[in-house]
Structure 1
Amino acid sequence: MIWKTMSNNLVLRILSSSVNISAKAGSIVRDVMKTGELAVVDKGVNDLQTEADRRAQNCIITSLSKQFPKIAIIGEETLDPNDKIDDKWIVSSFDESVLSHKCPEEWLNVTDEDIVVWVDPLDGTSEYTQGLLDHVTVLIGLSVKGRAIGGVIHQPFYNFDKENDSTKLGRTIWGLVGLGAYGFQHRQPPVGKVIVTTTRSHSSPTINAAIEHINPDEVIRVGGAGHKVLLVIEGQAHAYVFPSRGCKKWDTCAPEAVLESLGGRLTDVFGNQLRYDRNVEHTNELGVLATHCARTSHPYFLAKFSDDIKASLLSSSQMKRNN
């Protein structure tokens, strides 16, 4: 019945589905934490996987694939294709509030072949295992012809410190370029000071040199790319600064789209737009800079990256290609 009054546009349907799917994935992440059986797997340096990552990705990719079998979906985790998917993890519903919006004209004629969905089922896994639950997000990003245009950011543990109150646990934010972002109160960062956020666990001399050159009034060191971009989106920081390789496309696609829908910008440290085509290199080799304002803040912070910092990134990227 809702289809008579609500959009059947492909982009809005994917976002609408992803909103509900992300909430289900978030409940899976919480349920695993409650059991205390995280079943941690070490995938490499500073790269962990838990039972929550595996279950949440199965939920997201299976649910999206059933509803949109022709779109490409790329997830962070490499999973056993023979894993049994619990039927209760599969979501087939749509969020009606998303479908009630009018799709921007530029996305009206998007086809299945144009789309790649990037999935990080649990961004901030290391923090999750350490109990830093406010750092954790579920990320579902929608790209069209290589450009991030739509995103869903779900925080499974939002309000977790108020669980005894009547406050609802968990929060979902979504956005579409040309339409806007929803699910939170948009605020501008403080005027007259500079606040940046950066990594808490992947620091390096290059990152520290960049922060020192910016000379901010405050540095917020937290986990999870999604969480850090959210600090920019919600006006708690002016910029997310990460002049290093390591951040992946599934970390940045959803946050980039939400940020851009609000007038912000996310690029590499040279100011180049990130690409999200299905065959693209998964690592953002030339770092990440996210700012609250594309017109003023972004040029300001880009100018703070010295030639030495840029040369270091280029050298690291070249060494990887040679190997």
Structure 2
Amino acid sequence: MAGLLQALVGASEKAGTIARLCRAEEPLFQLLVAEKSGTDKNRRFLQDFKTLADVLIQEVIKHDLGKEFPELQGHIHGEESNEFKNRQDSTNEYIGGREDVAPIDGITPAGLCSALVLIGAYDRQTGCPVLGIINEPFYCRDPLTHRWQGRYHWGVAYGDTQLSSLSPPPPRPTPCVVLSRAEGGPVRAALGPLCGDRLCFAAGAGYKMLCVILGLADAYVLSEGSTFAWDACAPHAILRALGGGAVALAGALQARRVGDTGPPPELVYNRPAEGAVGAKRWANQGGLVAYVHPQHLEAVLAALATVPGL
């Protein structure tokens, strides 16, 4: 496990370098964008894109880890196909590259800082995430060179072992919940009183989970199945290392409604959705709640149990 962790950290650092290099020259970068189509497309977006950086990063990770750990060959998966056809258009945070977005209470609502490299490992038998790396390629700019600098975080949750580069953040008496701006009104209305009407908003599922990991928010709630295994596995492992987790929202609410007082079901990563095709096979159907402190999870679930249709 230690050797794999070291290899994943190295892969994430190489990936961060690729992300910064590909983003350095704007005219060239705009030639390195392709639109997804068919079953690879996220149904949440009218247009869904990938960049050559996405593809390069994914293939480099596959190559490096497969070479160092031959037993993992064939078991290293990612979001993108390695087919790349250029289209000149752009919408997401990495492509848009906004650098002037000011953080609100430490959370950046959008922009380049929310573009992350996520590398997670899960137990193939149980589907439970056991190791995660989050690399922030665009964490800050060097004041002298004006070049972007990155940082990374890691966590291991395997058996009785819980180790992380971070310490668990202290809980707030009134929890802060981070949402997508696309989240529906009923969910916002249910969570508003719990948070003292202080809801935070940010882009990127991985980034919102990172906000929970860093203690910038106490929970991340998503009521739709618009995130995927590759979004959640790495931060989920780090959350588990800190004593928290990421539960399947629909399953957790269903369990509460039938009186099940046991631990709510967590996301797993070894079971594709039955009947789905393409990327939808690996969607986190029914939404999720990411948390560090169990009391915040329980408070969020109690609030959401009143929302019709969830």
Question: In the alignment, what sits opposite 2:76?
Answer: 73
Q: Deviations over 1:272-295 (max 9, x none)?
A: 11111165640000101011213x
Question: In the alignment, what sits opposite 2:50?
Answer: 49
Structure 2 spans left out of the alignment, 5+ residues: 86-90, 98-110, 253-263, 274-280
Question: In the alignment, what sits opposite 1:130?
Answer: 96
Match for 1:21: what amino acid?
Answer: A
Match for 2:138: what amino acid?
Answer: F
- Residue-pair matches, total: 254
Match for 2:92: what amino acid?
Answer: S
What's the C-alpha RMSD, in Å, of the aligned pairs?
2.5
Question: In the alignment, what sits opposite 1:142?
Answer: 121
Looking at structure 1, the residues matched to 136 and 92 of structure 2 have their Cα atoms a distance apart, in angstroms, of 15
- The answer to whether the 8 A contact 2:138-2:148 is kept is no
Looking at structure 1, the residues matched to 240 and 54 of structure 2 have their Cα atoms a distance apart, in angstroms, of 27
- The answer to whether the 8 A contact 1:232-1:239 is kept is yes
Looking at structure 1, the residues matched to 236 and 204 of structure 2 have their Cα atoms a distance apart, in angstroms, of 14
1:199 equivalenced with 2:198 (yes/no)? no
- The answer to whether the 8 A contact 2:137-2:148 is kept is no
- The answer to whether the 8 A contact 1:196-1:216 is kept is no
> What SS does structure 2 have at the residue aligned with 1:74?
coil
CA apart distance, 1:206? 5.2
CA apart distance, 1:257? 0.6
1:31 equivalenced with 2:25 (yes/no)? no
Q: Taking structure 1 as reference, are residues 166 and 55 closer, same or farther at Cα in structure 2, changes over 3 Å only?
A: closer
TM-score by length of 2: 0.74
> What SS does structure 1 have at the residue aligned with 2:239?
helix
Looking at structure 1, the residues matched to 23 and 120 of structure 2 have their Cα atoms a distance apart, in angstroms, of 24
1:180 equivalenced with 2:179 (yes/no)? no
1:234 equivalenced with 2:214 (yes/no)? yes
TM-score by length of 1: 0.71
Question: In the alignment, what sits opposite 2:104?
Answer: none
Match for 2:162: what amino acid?
Answer: L
**Could you tell me the percent identity over the aligned residues?**
31
Question: In the alignment, what sits opposite 1:171?
Answer: 151
Structure 1 spans left out of the alignment, 5+ residues: 1-10, 84-124, 313-323
> What SS does structure 2 have at the residue aligned with 1:272?
coil
Output aligned runs, 1:1-323, within 5 Å: 11-36=1-26, 37-38=29-30, 39-43=32-36, 44=41, 45-46=44-45, 47-71=48-72, 72-80=75-83, 126-131=92-97, 132-144=111-123, 145=125, 146-160=127-141, 162-164=142-144, 169-177=149-157, 178-182=161-165, 184=166, 186-189=168-171, 191-200=172-181, 202-205=182-185, 207-212=187-192, 214-269=194-249, 270=252, 271-277=264-270, 279=272, 281-294=281-294, 296-306=295-305, 308-309=307-308, 311-312=309-310
Q: Taking structure 1 as reference, are residues 207 and 33 closer, same or farther at Cα in structure 2, changes over 3 Å only?
A: farther
